[in-house]
Amino acid sequence: MSSKSVLRVALLAGGTSSEREVSLKGAKAVHSALLELGHRVEFFDPASDLLNLVQRAKDFDVAFLVMHGPGGEDGTLQGFLDMLGLPYQGAGVLGSALAMHKGLSKILYERVGLPVPKGKLFKKGISLALMRDYAHSLGFPLIVKPATQGSSVGLSLVENEYALDEAVEKAFEVDKEILLEEHLKGRELTVGILGEEPLPVVEIQHKAKFFNYETKYTPGLAEEICPAPISKELTLTAQEYALRAHRALYLRHYSRTDMILVEDKIFVLETNTIPGMTETSLLPLSAKVAGLSFKDLIEKLLRLALESSS
């Protein structure tokens, strides 16, 4: 297929997760880019339009996913599209499921030698006393977060033992498994992978205690600097870690791995299989510094999706 061929694209966004609004915002930017590229685009919301997509799957060459959270980024939708025979960008079923589960991804990071924060997974119904004991062994402050949510949904920075129970309850409201993890204070970095190649490192600077949902999506609360003002050695290490994380989780096409730099050591936190896709989102920013416009990025992802299916 030539680079100038017109594609029939099913754009999927929305869904039922707590990240629905973020998904829809990104889809607007992607929709505009697809039209500017000359492709034919139709929008489908998995919350209401899946039957329609089943009936019309043969009308499309490729799907473009701007989905976040459970039901869109965890392999569920990917398996659905596989059954329809409709190619899509990003991780397949296995990679999506592994990356979405922070407990499993942490294990896989460690197996390929990536440094990670200390932490432990707890299932709903476990004794609060056991979690309190583990929290004390870990030390305060610490992070409590759901195992399978994105955008910091349900995540809390726990300053002392008195705030622990409320944070645990908050996390269990949105997930059946949660992580208690040491809080590492340092510089926040993120590195995108595009087609098996690392993109420039981004540093995220903000004044919040941690990079929470409000800080991520409220203009002006965070500043993204790319390329990150770190040494060449640290830059190469961060890029190597991102690629190792990408491969450890069986990902493809693209991903974005979040890290924290503590003094001169980088720790891997988590990997996003469908990174935010507004023109000012982190991966598009990094791609722009690497010489790819937002439209170029969208086009490359479409081509990667089609190459995987051929």
- DSSP tag of 59: G
In this prediction the pTM is 0.91
Residue 258 assigned as binding residue: yes
Residue 270 assigned as binding residue: yes
User: How buried is 141 (Cβ within 10 angstroms: 0-12 exposed, 13-18 middle, 19+ buried)?
Assistant: middle
The answer to whether 259 touches 191, Cβ cutoff 8 Å, is yes
- pLDDT > 90: percent of the chain: 86
The answer to whether 88 touches 305, Cβ cutoff 8 Å, is yes
**Which domains are assigned to the chain?**
8-89 (3.40.50.20), 98-115+185-289 (3.30.470.20), 119-182 (3.30.1490.20)
User: Tell me, what's the pLDDT at 208?
Assistant: 62
Long-range pairs of 133-140 with CB within 8 A, sequence gap ≥ 24: 134/180, 135/161, 135/164, 135/180, 136/161, 138/180, 138/181, 138/182, 139/182
Residue 74 assigned as binding residue: no
Residues of the chain with pLDDT under 50: 1-3, 212, 215, 217
Q: Which residues are catalytic?
A: 19, 151, 281
User: Tell me, what's the pLDDT at 206?
Assistant: 77
Residue type, 300: K
First to last CA, the chain: 11
User: Tell me, what's the pLDDT at 87?
Assistant: 98
User: Tell me, what's the pLDDT at 2?
Assistant: 43
